[in-house]
């Protein structure tokens, strides 16, 4: 009976056991937070690219290719690629308006699939509208 009682009160190795139980949760929180910060950074970069593209397209003489290049100049250094970039010019309204819509596919590195469905989309979709400026005079 004495051996059984001392076995139940033995605390040797308890710290190791607690560490082993808590470590996966701590790592998930740490790397999950890093993944979420990467998502916010990618979204802000995509917004900056959409704003730059819409501002570039605000001049009537700007071509669609120049607008695409303006967006890619912002996205390229960050390693992001636009899976879709749609430019719409509404010239029938006064003043004319240009709409730039950029879609970027984002992949979480650490968070498992069931958590990514809860925390957010895997696609960043940004739309920016800008009023076209007057014609440039030569």
Max CA pair span of the chain: 103
Q: Does residue 61 lie within any of the structural domains?
A: yes
Q: Does residue 138 lie within any of the structural domains?
A: no
pLDDT at 15: 86
Whether residue 132 is predicted with pLDDT greater than 80 in this model: the reply is: no
- Mean pLDDT on 120-132: 74
Residue ranges making up the domain that contains 124:
10-131
Asked whether 125 and 103 are in contact (CB, 8 A), the reply is yes
- Mean pLDDT on 64-79: 92
Q: Does residue 23 lie within any of the structural domains?
A: yes
Q: Does residue 1 lie within any of the structural domains?
A: no
Q: pLDDT tens digit string along 9-66?
A: 667 788 888 899 999 999 888 888 888 898 889 889 999 999 999 888 888 788 999 9
Q: How many domains does the chain divide into? A: 1
Q: What is the dihedral of CA 69, 71, 77, 80, to 10 degrees?
A: -120
Q: Does residue 4 lie within any of the structural domains?
A: no
pLDDT at 8: 63
Q: Which residue has the higher pLDDT, 122 or 65?
A: 65
Closest CA to 135 of 95, 83, 78: 95
pLDDT at 137: 47
Q: Which residue has the higher pLDDT, 4 or 127?
A: 127
Whether residue 76 is predicted with pLDDT greater than 90 in this model: the reply is: yes
pLDDT at 122: 73
pTM (2 d.p.)? 0.74
User: Confidence class of residue 135 from pLDDT cuts 50, 70 and 90?
Assistant: low
- Mean pLDDT on 95-103: 87
Q: Does residue 3 lie within any of the structural domains?
A: no
pLDDT at 17: 87
Asked whether 48 and 74 are in contact (CB, 8 A), the reply is yes
């Amino acid at each position: 009976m004495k051996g059984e009682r001392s076995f139940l009160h033995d605390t040797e190795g308890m710290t190791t056991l607690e560490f082993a139980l808590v470590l996966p949760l701590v790592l998930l929180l740490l790397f999950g937070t890093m993944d979420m910060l990467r998502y916010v950074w990618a979204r802000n970069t995509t917004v900056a690219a959409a704003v730059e593209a819409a501002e570039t397209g605000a001049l009537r003489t700007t071509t669609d290719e120049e607008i695409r290049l303006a967006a890619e100049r912002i996205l390229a250094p960050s390693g992001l690629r636009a899976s879709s970039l749609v430019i719409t010019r509404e010239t029938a309204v006064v003043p004319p308006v240009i709409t730039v819509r950029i879609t970027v596919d984002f992949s979480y590195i650490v968070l498992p699939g069931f958590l990514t469905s809860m925390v957010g989309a895997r696609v960043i979709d940004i739309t920016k509208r800008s009023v076209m400026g007057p014609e440039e005079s030569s």
